[in-house]
Amino acid sequence: MPGEHGSTLRDAFIVELRDCYDAEKQLSRALPKMARASSSIELRTAFEDHLQETREHIARLERVFRTLQEKPHGRRCEGIAGIVEESDHVLHEDFDESTLDACLIASGRRAEHYEMAAYGTLVAWARAIGQPQAAELLDQTLEEEKAADRKLSELAESGIDQEAADSAHQEE
């Protein structure tokens, strides 16, 4: 980070914000593909709902940038890029519908956990550098990411994982 801004926690905060901004942009492109690939109506709806939230997350990050008097732009988020790439690989596997849905849930949860870690850090750093408005906005996103993860987990536990397991037993 010293080459990009300097070496303060505020500088690291800006770099992390840019990483999250890019991550949200990447996810806004990946979620429609995941929704289309879902055979479960509930899973498709969860991905579509989270796409709307992701668009709100992007707008919220832009507000955070403005509160810091920084231009909103991303910095390539390699972590989410890897998760999205893995998700794309899953879409090209020859899985039955329920197994594909289970794999899509796993991909979605990986992304949510990455984002929860990133936003948790940003909230703490915003508070540490005296940016309560940014902390509040970022905490709102963190809570939505946690809720999305819970929703995906509930979908898996409500039968999607079991359907995938049952379909595997039928083939044996």
CATH number, domain with residue 131: 1.20.1260.10
Range of the domain at 89: 9-171
pTM over 0.85: yes
Residue 5 has pLDDT above 60, yes or no: no
> At 167, is the pLDDT very low, low, confident or very high (cuts 50, 70, 90)?
low
Residue 44 lies in a domain: yes
User: pLDDT category, 2, cuts 50, 70, 90?
Assistant: very low
Reported as type and span, the H/E element at residue 70 is none
Is 2 domain-assigned? no
Tell me how many domains the chain contains.
Answer: 1
